[in-house]
Structure 1
Amino acid sequence: MSIEGFVHHTVLLSEAVDMLNPRSGGIYVDGTMGGGGHTRALLEASAPLGRVIAFDQDLEAVTNAETWREGYHDRLIVVHDNFRMIGNHLQRLAIPKVQGILCDLGVSSPQLDDAWRGFSYQQDAPLDMRMDHRQTVTAKKLVNTCSERELADYFFEYGEERWGKRIAQFIVASRKVAPIETTEQLVAIIKAAIPAAARKDGPHPAKRVFQALRIAVNEEMTSLQDLLVTIPQLLDSYGRAAFITFHSLEDRIVKKALIDAAKDCICPPDFPQCICDHRATMQVITRKPVVPSDVDIELNPRARSAKLRVAERLPN
């Protein structure tokens, strides 16, 4: 992917930044820099003294930042790492608390559209799907080494694929003949596994399986859960955290984490008395998620499923 090709329409840009309420002198984290849309908006909204620490595990995004970061000088710090490591880097930078954290959890259009990355089921490419090429696990490795049960669990849990068990059976049978190495090979196996009648309606038959493999390869759900646990410790009093999700699985995780952080007790409802000793650390700002405008969807049809949720840190 060329650096010049890293162009992406930023979803819910003004809504997310406005709800973080940036101010001059504050320190803000963009956990998923991508093309830099939210990062630059945070820098502009917190001018002249606000700072932004932008994270991305994709080296292409980090390299691309060199094309637009000039002029922000020491107000911008770019970190090549997963957002689950925000706390470690803030400690390294001697920053005890920040005033806002923003994470757009969507896969950027350049990542999906560049065939060599192996994310797309519409273009033939090596089965890769890594956001960070420093890691060793690829989609090829998963489909060729995971057990049938493991694959079926991935497809059901991460892709909500009703035909997951049958697809896993077909994958295992196919790899006994020859390794599955390309996206085109995998798409053909998925289509063969799903009955023709079930393929007539709905999204592309490979969409859910490719989503599941991408999530598994990049440990997206565990990374998100790791970050959500640390959010109250990272934020200053009245600091805000904003999350933009794109599918139901990650949205449920964010919603539950923010609601739990806003409770004084998270014991099961049938417990006669509280034993968890949990205390509220956050206040949910968005009782209902903010969704994209028609303009957002027109500019980026993939934004149709986006949801923005925001919570505020209670006084420490």
Structure 2
Amino acid sequence: MTDLFEHDPVMVDEITAIFDAVPAGTVIDATLGGGGHSHALLTRRHDISILGIDQDADAIAAALERLAEFADRVRTSRRRFDEIPEAMAEHGITEVSGALFDLGVSSPQLDRAERGFSYRNDGPVDMRMDDEQQWSAHDVVNGYERDELVRIIRQHGDERFAKRIADAIVGARPVESTTQLAEIVTAAIPAAARRTGGHPAKRTFQAIRIEVNSELDVLPTALDQAIEATVPGGRIAVLSYHSGEDRIAKQRFSLAAGACDCPHDLPCVCGAVQTVRVVRGVAKRATPDEQTRNRRSTSALLRVVEKTEPIPKGIGPSGAA
């Protein structure tokens, strides 16, 4: 099991440096996966523990095996990452020193053909991060109306040929395997466009996976929960791999940093309160060396905020300071 989930965690040096500054306590690894980031954090900091959250039972089992040497400092919870308060309550945790979100699909999930995430390996059209969930990619690919397919492929995949791809999928139904789906998508894209940008089916598979797992729907709530649970001086870091994910992280962090729409030349009357300071105003990318070594890091974007004591940005509607 551990071998299957062995992979290089993305931007691990940057992540460990970020959490060097947080107070002693519990750090939430909201996307535990194989435990790579958690292993690095536990090795580096002897005064922190990890609360690992993941929907995938195999990932949790592999992470516990990998983190066995730190068993007394590791707790896990099998749930979605927008259930942070429930995960904390499960283990009697009332506050945390930070949280890490490594979004997207893990390399081990892609490598297991039976999970249906990969356009390179033949498997069922599945893509569920939680295999107990009833809804799968099969329902999306074979059940969505053409216009709905266009919407999710364009919105979640940034795919400019969404209409052509949706028409091809509808025309080829039923679609039963990932290789069949990949071939349909590839054939729908003009030959000239297939020569650049990686595998032609990559964006469509990403879009369907995001839809199946409601990834963009739950992320704002999860980030707000992490900010709320973190003590002053703690940090929240997000590794995203898709423009929609990064946009949400930027928006939630900006809001928590006290952003408001009041005119700059007038006092703030919206009641905005700053609860974080932005550590990285511009998303950081992996180094060229890491991008060469670790293919998954090529699209990674890192954003970080640090929790502060609440700081009112201006006066409230009543005129109180």
Q: Determine if the TM-score, normalized by the shorter chain, exceeds 0.5.
A: yes
**Residue 110 of structure 1, aligned match among 98, 101, 108:** 108
The CA distance in 2 between the partners of 1:22 and 1:273, in whole Å, is: 34
The SS at the match of 2:216 is helix
Give deviations 1:139-170, integer Å, cap 9, x for gaps: 11111111111111100100011111221122
The SS at the match of 2:239 is strand
Q: Contact conserved, 1:22 with 1:46, CA < 8 A, in 2? A: no
**Residue 168 of structure 1, aligned match among 159, 166, 169:** 166
**Residue 124 of structure 2, aligned match among 115, 122, 126:** 126
> Is 2:12 the partner of 1:18?
no
Residues 139-158 of structure 1: pairs in structure 2 closer than 5 A: 139-158=137-156
The CA distance in 2 between the partners of 1:71 and 1:284, in whole Å, is: 34
- Go from structure 1 to structure 2 and tell me whether the alpha carbon gap of 1:45 and 1:144 turns closer, same or farther (over 3 Å shift): same
Q: Contact conserved, 1:155 with 1:213, CA < 8 A, in 2? A: yes
Q: Which deviates more from structure 2 when the two are superposed, residues 15-24 or residues 249-258?
A: 15-24
The SS at the match of 1:281 is strand
The SS at the match of 1:125 is coil
**Residue 252 of structure 1, aligned match among 247, 251, 260:** 247
Deviation at 1:271, TM superposition (A): 12
The SS at the match of 1:280 is strand
Deviation at 1:228, TM superposition (A): 1.6
- Go from structure 1 to structure 2 and tell me whether the alpha carbon gap of 1:153 and 1:276 turns closer, same or farther (over 3 Å shift): farther
Q: TM-score, normalised by structure 1?
A: 0.91
- Go from structure 1 to structure 2 and tell me whether the alpha carbon gap of 1:275 and 1:25 turns closer, same or farther (over 3 Å shift): closer
Residues 1-316 of structure 1: pairs in structure 2 closer than 5 A: 2-21=1-20, 25-47=24-46, 49-175=47-173, 179-263=174-258, 265-267=259-261, 276-316=270-310
Q: Contact conserved, 1:148 with 1:172, CA < 8 A, in 2? A: yes
Unaligned runs of 5+ in 2: 311-321
Unaligned runs of 5+ in 1: none
Q: Which deviates more from structure 2 when the two are superposed, residues 125-134 or residues 25-34?
A: 25-34
The CA distance in 2 between the partners of 1:234 and 1:207, in whole Å, is: 35
The SS at the match of 1:71 is helix
- Go from structure 1 to structure 2 and tell me whether the alpha carbon gap of 1:23 and 1:314 turns closer, same or farther (over 3 Å shift): closer
Deviation at 1:258, TM superposition (A): 1.0
The CA distance in 1 between the partners of 2:247 and 2:104, in whole Å, is: 15
Q: TM-score, normalised by structure 2?
A: 0.90
Q: Contact conserved, 1:3 with 1:60, CA < 8 A, in 2? A: no
